[in-house]
Structure 1
């Protein structure tokens, strides 16, 4: 889970919790206010009832003032207010009304009506408004903090993107974050590291390229000079050494080339075409050494490099098989190469590393499977190995 998602979850959780607490406090305060006003109005009604009945207007006004009440003459309140308490009697009724979050005392006796308002509610309402305003302000502040944090962390997405590009082979990827904080320091450190790695990779590529090219000249000269030497056992040994050295040089250069991005030229072709191309690149003296079973299917990839990968698998099978023929089997979007022999001593991953071989076999340089693995992996396909019924089975799985 990303940091942004974690922060968002924490913010939403805090916001929901604060909202629930605010609603609970508001509801509790309203209930308390209603109870307090109801009890206060009932007590006030008892004190006002006698002067109202006796029509003692002066005494009534005096009591109203002493109780902190105010006479209200708005008939809309009587008509539209919600009745929260009702006490009817023979000659009228006593009501407590709620209108616009305020409570009013309504007393009716015969033809006399009295609507009163407790002015102390204004102070209570003011306190509630202040409390609610502070809660809203706190929510706004949390939102601002959340947005500021996201803005501060947003350059990390850019840096992460450039790191992914660099890891995939784009050696020119650099972060453009120029802030003077810790994130800016991370960006600068990444750029410095990327520059140093690019220099090292370029130096390695240049060295391998120069060595490969320089080696080809003396190898070619040696082969040419060897043609003038009379046939002998020593000539065959030297010739084989030159051929091995030429093969090793080519494989090293090819292995180095596979580290580059955007190397492949994709096209569609049949599995039968791929097998034919791979076999054409091998020197096979006896065609009976290879058996092919094909259930053809379409492949989308680079024909040249997939040919190289399959050629290496077939070449290994021919070199190391204890009996012939080997079998190339095409089925269910898979191409398998089956050969007789002992099971590999270690896991397949060990042999996918460069310059690793099975036991003490000296028929190759341990680069073939490394090249196969790189080609298959860069295509998004899979290389699998299993040992079944005395046969080593290497399979390229062409994932759809």
Structure 2
């Protein structure tokens, strides 16, 4: 029941209530019908027995008419009518006794009592009006049905803004921050809608401020970096020139990563997948790392990966950067097959679960360099590709795995 929506729950409640009322109505009608038939038969037997006993005293016509009035019956005197009732009507009850015979017939919703004793053959029509219990029950049932339908429709209209608000919240959760929240009512749903609209407006403003800050910062940083790279070209010392160029290129790559983080947080990062040889991905990754002379041992199968080339190179760069930076001894191992990519380094296991490090700005306490965005970017890009990202520690080795 916890996972059932409110509208579905209300539909179930109304369906159960409607079924219960309908069942109660059907049971009432059947029980009332049985009660009526039993009381009716008892009445007819009483009338028949009273007449049969009276007939033993050879009553006059006036006496019989008096009894008819008393029992609210009328004698059918035409012989053809009697024969038609006997031959074509439904026999409801028959009873024989030492003083005579009694039968009850039903024809066209009318009941007839046929009494026989010696020379008497009396056919009596019941004049007592039929009870209106069924009509009353049907009226009450109809009233309940109309009331239930009105309540159901009113409740559905009341919940309609909630369904709309839920849809708008879903749109927002999928990255559409421009969704418009309208609140027309003053009830609890309207209050929630207005509160959410205020929160959404606050988030929009915060997002705009953050994006503006990031863009301005990256723009301001690119200008001195570009100037620095131009000045570095004029240096006569080749070694100093190369060191400065690598430093400026590294800063430029950091700005690109910050730009990637901005796109991730703004939910505007799009993939452009293509099939590319994994070795070419690795070669492009080394260019991002600004050096080929790294303590990395590669074990690659020859295969093509369907990935976004630029984004996946950022993933590999961040994993290799971390592995080289925190490797305690020996070479870092980069292993790749059609099923997975593994980056393996020696060192102590992580103090926390992997989820901790894939949150933005998360890092070990002892670290003083970096922003703690590396694994956050890795996890986000891997998830966008539909791959899995895992971490294990085995035999003194930290193993980060991307499973295709």
TM-score by length of 2: 0.82
**Larger CA deviation: 77-86 vs 62-71:** 77-86
Q: Residues 96 and 275 (structure 1 numbering): CA distance in 2 closer, same or farther, change over 3 Å?
A: farther
Is 1:85 the counterpart of 2:96? The answer is no
Within 5 Å, give how 1:1-400 maps onto structure 2: 1-50=4-53, 54=58, 56-71=60-75, 78=86, 82-88=90-96, 93-97=101-105, 104-108=112-116, 112-117=121-126, 119-120=128-129, 122=130, 124=131, 126-179=132-185, 181-225=187-231, 245-269=251-275, 272=278, 274-275=281-282, 277-279=284-286, 281-286=288-293, 289-294=296-301, 296=303, 299=306, 301-322=307-328, 323-332=330-339, 334-362=340-368, 364-398=370-404
Match of 2:348, SS state, is: coil
Q: Offset of 1:32 from its aligned partner? A: 1.6
**Larger CA deviation: 4-13 vs 267-276:** 267-276
Give the Cα–Cα distance (whole angstroms) in 1 for the partners of residues 267 and 199 of structure 2: 20
**Larger CA deviation: 31-40 vs 45-54:** 45-54
Give the Cα–Cα distance (whole angstroms) in 2 for the partners of residues 195 and 100 of structure 1: 75
Alpha-carbon displacement from aligned partner over 1:273-304 (angstroms, at most 9, x marks no partner): 655654554445247723224384763x5333
Q: Residues 361 and 189 (structure 1 numbering): CA distance in 2 closer, same or farther, change over 3 Å?
A: closer
Contact 2:181/2:193, CA 8 A, preserved across alignment: yes
Q: Offset of 1:172 from its aligned partner? A: 0.7
Q: Residues 64 and 16 (structure 1 numbering): CA distance in 2 closer, same or farther, change over 3 Å?
A: same
Match of 2:379, SS state, is: helix
Q: Residues 246 and 37 (structure 1 numbering): CA distance in 2 closer, same or farther, change over 3 Å?
A: same
Q: Residues 297 and 219 (structure 1 numbering): CA distance in 2 closer, same or farther, change over 3 Å?
A: closer
Give the Cα–Cα distance (whole angstroms) in 2 for the partners of residues 280 and 294 of structure 1: 21
Contact 2:357/2:376, CA 8 A, preserved across alignment: yes
Match of 1:258, SS state, is: helix
Give the Cα–Cα distance (whole angstroms) in 2 for the partners of residues 199 and 16 of structure 1: 52
Q: Residues 354 and 182 (structure 1 numbering): CA distance in 2 closer, same or farther, change over 3 Å?
A: closer
Contact 1:34/1:103, CA 8 A, preserved across alignment: no
Give the Cα–Cα distance (whole angstroms) in 2 for the partners of residues 312 and 47 of structure 1: 109
Q: Offset of 1:261 from its aligned partner? A: 3.6
Alpha-carbon displacement from aligned partner over 1:22-44 (angstroms, at most 9, x marks no partner): 22222222222122111111111
Q: Offset of 1:271 from its aligned partner? A: 6.8
Give the Cα–Cα distance (whole angstroms) in 1 for the partners of residues 282 and 116 of structure 2: 105
Q: Residues 45 and 253 (structure 1 numbering): CA distance in 2 closer, same or farther, change over 3 Å?
A: same
Q: Offset of 1:224 from its aligned partner? A: 4.0
Give the Cα–Cα distance (whole angstroms) in 2 for the partners of residues 385 and 75 of structure 1: 99
Contact 2:110/2:125, CA 8 A, preserved across alignment: no
Contact 2:73/2:125, CA 8 A, preserved across alignment: yes
Q: Offset of 1:200 from its aligned partner? A: 1.7
Q: Any stretches of 5+ residues in structure 2 without a counterpart?
A: none
Alpha-carbon displacement from aligned partner over 1:53-96 (angstroms, at most 9, x marks no partner): 75854433321211123456687765565544321468974233
Give the Cα–Cα distance (whole angstroms) in 2 for the partners of residues 74 and 259 of structure 1: 95
Match of 2:337, SS state, is: strand
Q: Any stretches of 5+ residues in structure 1 without a counterpart?
A: none
Contact 2:357/2:363, CA 8 A, preserved across alignment: yes
Q: Residues 3 and 271 (structure 1 numbering): CA distance in 2 closer, same or farther, change over 3 Å?
A: farther
